[in-house]
Structure 1
Amino acid sequence: MTVELVIFDIGNVLIEWQPERYYDRVIGRARREAMFAEVDLHGMNDDIDRGGDFRDTIYAAADAYPQWRDEIRMWHDDWMDLATPPIDHSVRLLRALRAKGIQVQALTNFGIGTFALAATHYDFLNEFDKRHISGHLGTIKPDEEIYEIVERECGHAPGAILFTDDRHDNIETARSRGWQTHLFEGPGGWAERLVAEGLLSAEEAA
C-alpha cells in the first residue's frame, strides 16, 4: 500500500536519548553503573512518560534513595543535558517530507513536562502535523492502546502508515497491527527507506 503518513519516534530518532552517557560524564561510569543497578531510573522515566508529574516523580524517587538523592534529581534539574544533541540528518528528513506535502506525525514516549521543555529548545518538535505524546495519552509504547489511539486519530489505514522507531518491541507492535515499519539504526538507513518508498529523492534525503 502507498505510504500516506510518516510517523517518527523522537528519542534516538530525532534527539539522542542516552542518560547513561550524561551520568558517565558527570559522576563517572563506576558510580553511574552502581546507581542504575540499584535504582530503576528508566522505570521512573516510564512513569513520567505515562503522565506522571515531571518534578514530583523524580524528586520522590530521589527521596526514596537518599544515598543517590543529588544524582537522581539531576534527571530533572539537568534534563536538557540528557536529551541532546538533535540528530540533524533526521531533522532534515522531517522537514524534507513536510516540504513535499507529505503528512508527518510523531508517536513518542514523552512526559507532559519533558515534552513541553524539549519543545522550547527544539523548534522541529513543533513542526509535525500531529503529535501523539504518551504523557497526554496515559499509555506508552509498546502497549497496544497507544497504537489504537493513533489509528483512530490519524485518519489513515494502518497499511498506509510508515513508522520508524529505534526499539524492536515498539516496531513489532506496529507491524502486528499492519503498519509499515522501519527499525531506526541511523538516519542514513532511514533516508534510504524514504527514497525507496518514493517519498523523497536521493537529493532531498541527503
Structure 2
Amino acid sequence: MVTKSILPFLSILFCFIACSEATNADRFQLTASDVQVQQEDTAGLPSGVFAGGCFWCTEAYFERLQGVKAVISGYSGGSQKEPTYKQVSAGKTDHAEAVQVYYDPQQITYQELVEVFFATHDPTTLNRQGPDYGKQYRSIVFYKNAKEKKLVEDYIGHLNEAGTYKNKIVTYVQPFKEFWPAEEYHQDYYRRNPQDPYVMSVAKPKVRKFEDNYRDKLKPEYIK
C-alpha cells in the first residue's frame, strides 16, 4: 500500500514512468467482486474504436461526453488472440491500448468523437504519449466503413493544413478487425482509483483540462 506521507514524492516520480508500470501487485489481485463494471445497454448502438496512449485517460475523456453510452478499455490493432495487459503493456503483441466508444448518434456524431480524440492526445508523436512509450501506445483510428475512413483522413488533412500541431500527424488510419476487452480492473479505472499515483499526477490534470475545454459537451454529473 502507498502511504499518504510518500504520495507527493511518488506523484512526481510517476510523471516519468509509463502507464504500464503504475500498476502494483495489489491491483492485479482485484476480483470480480471487488470491481463492478457498469455498462449500459449498447444493443443497436454504433461504436468507434480509438487508440491514443494509456487507455485510462482515453476512457475518462469519452465517458464524460453527452451521448456516449459506454466506453470499454481494451486492445486492438494486432493479430494475437485474447491478449493480456501484461503482454500488451510489455510490447509483446502488436496490439495497442484502445477504447471502444458506444454512442447515440442522435446526441453526438462520429465526427465529434474524432474531433475529441485528436484534441485529447498528441497525434504527432510516434509510438509515444507523454511518459508512455512503445508501439502499444501508438495513435490509431480504427474505421469500420469507407465513410468513416474518408471522414478521418479529411480531418487529419484539415488539421495538417491548418497547422494545428507543430509537427505532422502520424496517426494510423486502419480498418477495424477485432477488439479485445481489457481485464475487469481496467474498466473505469480513472474513477475507481483516484489515489493511484499515475492517475493523480498524469491523468487527473489532463481530465480536468478536458472538462474545462468541453464544458458544453459534458454530461450533467461532470459539470462543476
Query: What is the TM-score normalised by the length of structure 2?
Result: 0.26
Say which structure is richer in strand: 2
Say which structure is richer in helix: 1
Greater CA radius of gyration, 1 or 2? 1
